[in-house]
């Protein structure tokens, strides 16, 4: 039975009449799937496989999809001939349901395509940061549209097939990340432009609906309610915030959130005027002892098709960098308020004591735009320490954040960390931060003496700043790998300390993506709790999808769960985000393991040889290499690596390996051990 979508559920229908006038079909894939013509005639096929094909075509954004890919995704456990037959039947059903809108669905011999030029697809048309989706209907329609997008992508298509489920999980994570960024940018704009408390509360509620553990949104909501004088509602929402953080992350609200709650309680008890509640929204003084990175408003070297792109990209960059916990980020708006010309911006950077500045230029080239970003080290004559370009096609401007910002930001962070860890800052950065920055390169060396030096630095940092989330997180990392290297004389006690520190880091800062990722690795490697590990890795990468380190650290868990293809995908994402990561050597051993789990022994050996040469003291780099050599029958070569491993980890044996290493499937453990045994590793 067909029905017309309501205006409340689809505010875009009022905000873009010109676009909708060209729309022949409208497809909703957020929440329960719906597809209809402009007059409400349903286009949705009855079969779940046919609907899944339609979903795949929608998310392909007008690109052709090979029939072989559709068959592999939806009939992954059927013989090839049967899968092709089933695909033909599903495509026939889909073509019948779309017969009233000819030419939109193109089914060829080898490819299938949905011509989306005249289709409106809700999730696909999610705007980029900085885009105006409200149009003449204004901010309220814009906010309502985002609220309508806060459901689960394709919520009724779980269980179609294991491979489709994996694809669906990835698409949901990608969509949720895009929606989160748009909502965060809207909230940042509303706060910086002194929008009404009602609008700030409305946007914050949308973000909370999407992510109940987003403490920044809770803080914005509480602050807006304080401005409105609704102190009783502040107290109620604070209790909801506590429950959401406890249920979702098992943490308590931060001190900043508690301050807003205490302000409401104090005003309620004293019955003061609501005007006093303006104080929480005033900009706080920048905290001392932290690095500061300023984002200058991007500029265009020539007129662009999209005049808002410069501003939105610079805002995207600020929002993405703010997810890293090493430094404070000064937004383009914060700099522009002190001057828009070069002299004013230089004065602003000096006034705000900025350590690094990011400049961006956009230049039209052919059918696209070249985005150039330069990182400057300040204090003294500005020094260019890094730059990169990215070419963006004109037809992909709506994806600028996903295609450009995530990658550029991921490459900036390790540059700053490497510089700051290698030499003193030009100003007085806190001793705890400085010690952690110096410890990280020593950690990645996996050399015993340097690793012990890193541990001493981290203990000193913890004594200086016991409530610093990053100090606690990296101290937990130290204990985890100290045990993993076989250097600990009390491994159980050190694992307990690693867990205490990682949970303490999350308690101090629930949005610390590094802390969540390190805790996820602990859940996997120590407790063999893969469900919790997947949850915390997912939370970490939703919070900061540019964090290349966590993409790599999550790959072993995929191997332990028996998903080497997913591990290799995560490692590809790591390399894509950080192609020049100075600490990449540590993660090459993970690729060796992934190829071993995938039974690609030749690749495992080729990468493993390179990995142990580059990182000869990392014990876990030898184990998958030795197993792969055993499966290939290369026992003589394996013997040399076994001898080196035994020098580094004298108690290593098949029995200790089987006891310590996590495997979800017994056959994966048996397979790994069979290779070690064939290579000549001793049993006990």
Give the pLDDT band of residue 561 (cuts 50, 70, 90): very high
Q: In what order do the strands lie in the sheet with 105-107?
A: 65-66, 111-114, 105-107
Nearest to 549 by CA among 527, 571, 566, 525: 571
Domain-embedded: residue 267: yes
Domain-embedded: residue 427: no
Q: Are residues 104 and 145 in the same domain?
A: yes
Q: Are residues 230 and 351 in the same domain?
A: no
Domain-ending residue, one of 281, 306, 325: 281
Q: How many CB atoms lie within 10 A of CB 248?
A: 15
Domain-embedded: residue 181: no
Q: What is the pLDDT of residues 330-372, one digit of tens each?
A: 777 656 555 555 665 676 677 777 888 888 888 888 888 888 8
**3-class state of residue 294 by DSSP:** strand
Domain-ending residue, one of 229, 257, 281: 281
pLDDT of 21 reads 42
Domain-ending residue, one of 281, 308, 336: 281
Q: Are residues 17 and 130 in the same domain?
A: yes
Question: Residues 47, 51, 56, 62: is their CA dihedral positive or negative?
Answer: positive
CATH at residue 35: 1.10.10.10
pLDDT of 8 reads 36
Tokens 């506590």 correspond to: 242
Q: Are residues 239 and 341 in the same domain?
A: no
* Predicted model pTM: 0.55
Q: Are residues 262 and 320 in the same domain?
A: no
Q: Are residues 33 and 126 in the same domain?
A: yes
Q: Are residues 391 and 300 in the same domain?
A: yes
How many domains are there within the chain?
4
Average pLDDT of the residues in 501-518: 91
Q: Are residues 159 and 93 in the same domain?
A: yes
The answer on pLDDT for 541 being more than 50 is: yes
Q: Are residues 350 and 230 in the same domain?
A: no
Share the mean pLDDT of the chain: 81
Among 362-366, 449-453, 561-565, 618-622, whose mean pLDDT is lowest? Answer: 362-366
Q: In what order do the strands lie in the sheet with 25-28?
A: 34-37, 25-28, 119-121
Q: What is the pLDDT of residues 42-94, one digit of tens each?
A: 899 989 999 999 999 999 988 999 999 999 999 988 888 999 999 999 999 99
Residues 164 and 52: beta-carbon distance below 8 Å: yes
Contacts of 212 by beta carbon, 8 Å cutoff, 6+ apart: 244, 247, 248
Domain-embedded: residue 46: yes
Q: What is the pLDDT of residues 152-210, one digit of tens each?
A: 889 889 889 988 988 988 888 888 878 888 888 888 877 766 678 888 888 888 888 77
Q: Are residues 340 and 247 in the same domain?
A: no
- How far are the Cα atoms of 50, 409, 548, 578 from residue 170, in angstroms, in the given order? 20, 21, 17, 20
pLDDT of 273 reads 34
Q: Return d(Cα 148, Cα 30) in angstroms, integer.
A: 8
Domain-embedded: residue 349: yes
Give the pLDDT band of residue 278 (cuts 50, 70, 90): very low
Q: Are residues 21 and 154 in the same domain?
A: yes
- How far are the Cα atoms of 218, 229, 240 from residue 215, in angstroms, in the given order? 5, 21, 11
Q: Are residues 318 and 229 in the same domain?
A: no
Secondary structure of the chain: what % helix, strand, coil (to 5)? 60, 10, 30
Domain-embedded: residue 672: yes
Domain that holds residue 54: 12-167
Burial class for 552, CB neighbours closer than 10 Å (0-12, 13-18, 19+): buried
DSSP string, 482-508: HHHTT--SSHHHHHHHHHHHHHHHHHH
């Amino acid at each position: 039975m067909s029905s017309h979508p309501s205006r409340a559920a689809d505010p875009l229908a009022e905000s873009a009449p010109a676009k909708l006038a060209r729309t022949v079909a409208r497809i909703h894939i957020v929440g329960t799937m719906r597809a209809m013509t402009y007059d409400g005639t349903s286009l949705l096929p009855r079969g779940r496989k046919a609907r899944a094909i339609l979903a795949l075509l929608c998310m392909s954004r007008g690109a052709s999809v090979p029939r072989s890919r559709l068959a592999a995704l939806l009939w992954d456990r059927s013989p090839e001939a049967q899968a092709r037959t089933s695909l033909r039947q599903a495509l026939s059903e889909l073509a019948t349901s779309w017969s009233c809108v000819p030419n939109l669905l193109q089914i060829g011999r080898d490819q299938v395509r949905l011509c989306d030029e005249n289709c409106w697809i809700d999730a696909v048309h999610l705007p980029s940061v900085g885009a105006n989706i409200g149009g003449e209907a204004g901010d309220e329609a814009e906010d309502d549209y985002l609220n309508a997008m806060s459901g689960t992508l394709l919520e009724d298509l779980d269980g179609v097939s294991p491979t489709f489920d994996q694809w669906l999980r990835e698409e949901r994570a990608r969509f949720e990340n895009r929606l989160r960024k748009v909502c965060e940018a809207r909230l940042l704009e509303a706060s910086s432009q002194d929008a009404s408390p009602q609008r700030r509360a409305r946007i914050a509620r949308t973000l909370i609906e999407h992510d109940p553990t987003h403490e920044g949104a809770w803080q914005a909501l509480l602050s807006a309610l304080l401005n409105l004088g609704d102190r009783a509602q502040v107290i109620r929402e604070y209790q909801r915030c506590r429950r959401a953080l406890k249920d979702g992350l098992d943490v308590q609200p931060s001190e900043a959130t508690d301050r807003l709650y205490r302000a409401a309680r104090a005003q309620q008890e004293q019955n003061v005027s609501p005007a006093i509640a303006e104080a929480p929204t005033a900009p706080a003084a920048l905290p001392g002892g932290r690095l500061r990175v300023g984002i200058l408003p991007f500029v265009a070297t020539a007129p662009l098709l999209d005049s808002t792109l410069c501003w939105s990209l610079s805002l995207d960059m600020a929002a993405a960098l703010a997810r890293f916990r090493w430094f404070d980020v000064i937004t383009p708006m914060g700099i522009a308020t002190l001057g828009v010309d070069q002299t004013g911006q230089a004065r602003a950077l000096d006034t705000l004591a900025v350590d690094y500045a990011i400049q961006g230029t956009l230049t039209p080239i052919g059918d696209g735009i070249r985005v150039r970003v330069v990182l400057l080290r300040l204090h003294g004559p500005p020094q260019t320490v890094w730059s990169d370009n990215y070419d963006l096609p004109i037809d992909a401007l709506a994806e600028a954040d996903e295609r450009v910002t995530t990658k550029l930001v991921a490459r900036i962070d390790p540059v700053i960390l490497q510089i700051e860890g290698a030499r003193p800052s030009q100003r007085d950065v806190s001793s705890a931060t400085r010690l952690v920055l110096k410890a990280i390169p020593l950690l990645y060396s996996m050399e015993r003496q340097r690793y012990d030096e890193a541990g001493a630095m981290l203990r000193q940092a913890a004594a200086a700043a016991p409530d610093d989330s990053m100090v606690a997180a990296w101290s937990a990392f130290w204990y985890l790998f100290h045990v993993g290297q076989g250097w600990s004389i009390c491994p159980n006690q050190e694992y307990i300390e690693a867990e205490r520190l990682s949970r303490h880091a999350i308690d101090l800062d629930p949005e610390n993506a590094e802390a969540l990722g390190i805790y996820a690795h602990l859940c996997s490697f120590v407790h063999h709790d893969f469900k919790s590990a997947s949850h915390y890795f997912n939370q970490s990468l939703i919070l900061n999808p540019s964090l290349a380190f966590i993409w790599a650290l999550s790959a072993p868990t995929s191997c332990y769960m028996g998903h080497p293809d997913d591990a290799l995908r995560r490692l590809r994402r790591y390399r894509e985000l950080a192609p020049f990561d100075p600490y990449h050597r540590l993660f090459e051993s993970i690729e060796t393991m992934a190829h071993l789990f995938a039974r690609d022994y030749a690749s495992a050996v080729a990468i493993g040889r390179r990995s142990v040469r580059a990182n000869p003291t990392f014990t876990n780099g030898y184990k998958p290499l030795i197993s792969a050599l055993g499966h290939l029958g290369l026992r003589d070569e394996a013997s040399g690596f076994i001898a080196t491993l035994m020098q580094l980890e004298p108690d290593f044996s098949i029995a200790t390996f089987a006891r310590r290493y996590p495997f979800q499937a017994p056959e994966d453990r048996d397979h790994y051990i069979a290779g070690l045994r064939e290579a000549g590793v001793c049993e006990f």
